[in-house]
Structures are given as C-alpha cells and as structure tokens.
Amino acid sequence: MLLVLVLLSVFLYNIGKGYTLLLDNKDIELPGGTAKALAMVEVQVDNEEPIELYPRDRDMVLVNGKSHTISITAYNKSFAEIGSYKIRFKLREKSDMFLLSMPALAAEAEDWISPFSPQR
C-alpha cells in the first residue's frame, strides 16, 4: 500500500509541476551556421492562445507537466506563409525554465530547446 502511495505521489508531482518556456525569435549560432530570426512567427504551445513573435522578440508561456506540443507557422517579410511545424516534446532536463528557439526549430536543428538559467 505504501508503494502505491509513493508511486501515485511521484506521478501527481510530475503531471502538476510547472515549467516556464521562453519562446525566442533571435538569431542563433548552430553547428551548421547561423539560423536567422524569422520575419514573423505564430507560436502555439499546447492549447494556449497563439503568440506572434517578430525578430528579436521573446515571450513566456507557463505550462504544467513534462509532455507538450508546439505548433509554429513562419512567415516572410510580406507575411506569406513559408512553413509550419508541429512537434511533440518532453522536458527531460532538471531545469524549471527552458529556451525554445524558433529559428533553430524552423531550421530543424536538434538543439532547438535548451535549459535556461538567468544571468545574475
């Protein structure tokens, strides 16, 4: 019985734990070169309201649990759609805050998500 309670506690902790996701649309250096900021990108995490980001923008989303879905639609300077992406991901690091790079995601880089720690 005690084992069931411990397992239930761990499960409830994991699905209820909150995380901060920083949605970033800034130039980023990748191993294959620089991924430039997108002219405009619409980002939706899970079923939250979509967020518009322009070059050098950063916005924040608060989520609960480790598994999430992100949908982005990228536009060029004349606001014509140039691509859309939908990715399911899990937060695997032991951080409470993560940086999600929209240019890296659009470039299909593996390291489009990384733990973030504010500079002091």
Query: How does DSSP classify residue 14?
Result: H
The residues of the chain scoring below 70 in pLDDT are: 12-16, 120
* Model pLDDT, residue 16: 65
Triad 65, 68, 71: Cα angle to 5°: 155
Query: How does DSSP classify residue 55?
Result: T
CA dist list (Å): 93 to 57, 73, 85: 24, 26, 23
**Does residue 55 contact residue 25 with C-beta atoms inside 8 Å?**
yes
* Model pLDDT, residue 3: 83
The predicted-structure confidence for 67-85, as pLDDT tens digits, reads as follows 999 999 999 999 899 999 9
Class of domain 2-115: mainly beta
Write down the domain spans for the chain. 2-115
* Model pLDDT, residue 2: 82
In three-state secondary structure terms, 7 is helix
